[in-house]
Amino acid sequence: ISICRDLPNIEVITFSVNGISDLEPLNQCQNLSELYLRKNNITSLNELFYLKNLPRLRVLWLSDNPCCGADPHRYRMTVLRNLPHLQKLDNQAVTEEELSQALVDGEEITAPPARRNVENGCPESSAAESTTETESGLLNFSLEETNKIREQLGMKPVPRDKFSSFSPRERDYSRKKRNNVLNAILLLMKELDVEGLEIVQQTAGRRLQACRKKELQEE
């Protein structure tokens, strides 16, 4: 997520399932309009402090983070009190009634969270949390997330048999590594001009031909 410090003009960020715990790198992304952060390790709603000064933020997906807590009403009201310009929170449209109620039921965040010793990445707790998902559930979610990113890049979806060839641990590590690389590519491509995009297209084309040739040889 630290790459966002160098991308102030980025408009859409997808960092779901990445072990992220600190949103401070986002506070300079003034053009950010959509932010997808579900299933990370954001433990405190005080992290919203770093999003309060993003004037164009309209879509936020923060569900399945520890900060959501056991009270979904309090969570939603607190998010909307601090980010009243949101139009959609966790894939649910925001209403005028909710924004009014948030002024009463939501908690105002006026300071960033206390610094923690745990760095962004895969916290120890994530291992325990992952055991609550069945291997089949992890496979389906991993395949869905990966193919969504591949679709954005104009790539063909990954066949299920290709994905199931990994062991659970290898698959989880490979998925995170692949998603991190693809997300970084998507972020950086928005910063390129026509000439830069043409270079990327040519390089990707050569790489794709090499991969297809290798697949044919293996078959």
Per-residue pLDDT in tens (0 to 9) along the chain, 219 residues? 788 888 888 888 888 888 888 999 999 899 999 999 999 999 999 999 999 999 999 999 999 999 999 999 999 999 999 999 999 999 899 999 999 999 999 999 999 887 654 444 444 433 334 333 433 444 444 566 666 666 665 667 766 655 543 444 444 555 666 666 777 777 777 777 888 788 888 888 888 888 777 777 776
154 has which bridge partners?
Answer: none
Q: What is the pLDDT of residue 142?
A: 55
Q: What is the pLDDT of residue 145?
A: 62
Helical ranges in the chain per DSSP H: 72-82, 96-105, 125-130, 135-152, 160-163, 168-189, 194-218
Residue 85: DSSP 8-state: T
Nearby residues of 105 by Cβ (< 8 Å), 6 or more positions away: 73, 74, 77
Q: Is 24 exposed, middle or buried (0-12, 13-18, 19+ CB in 10 A)?
A: middle
Q: CB count, 10 Å around CB of 91?
A: 11
Residue type, 21: S
Q: What is the pLDDT of residue 121?
A: 45
Phi/psi of residue 104, each to 5°? -95, -50
CA–CA gap between residue 219 and residue 215 (Å, rounded): 6
Q: What contacts 24+ positions apart, CB below 8 Å, involve 128-134?
A: 130/172
Among residues 107, 100, 42, the alpha carbon closest in space to that of 71 is found at: 107
Q: What is the pLDDT of residue 160?
A: 63
pLDDT per residue as tens digits for the range 3-34:
888 888 888 888 888 888 899 999 989 999 99
Q: What is the pLDDT of residue 65?
A: 94
pLDDT per residue as tens digits for the range 124-146:
433 334 333 433 444 444 566 66
Q: CB count, 10 Å around CB of 145?
A: 19
For residue 191, give both structure tokens.
């910063």
CA–CA gap between residue 59 and residue 33 (Å, rounded): 6
14 has which bridge partners?
Answer: 36
Sequential DSSP letters for 133-155: S-HHHHHHHHHHHHHHHHHHTTP
- Quick check: pTM over 0.85? no
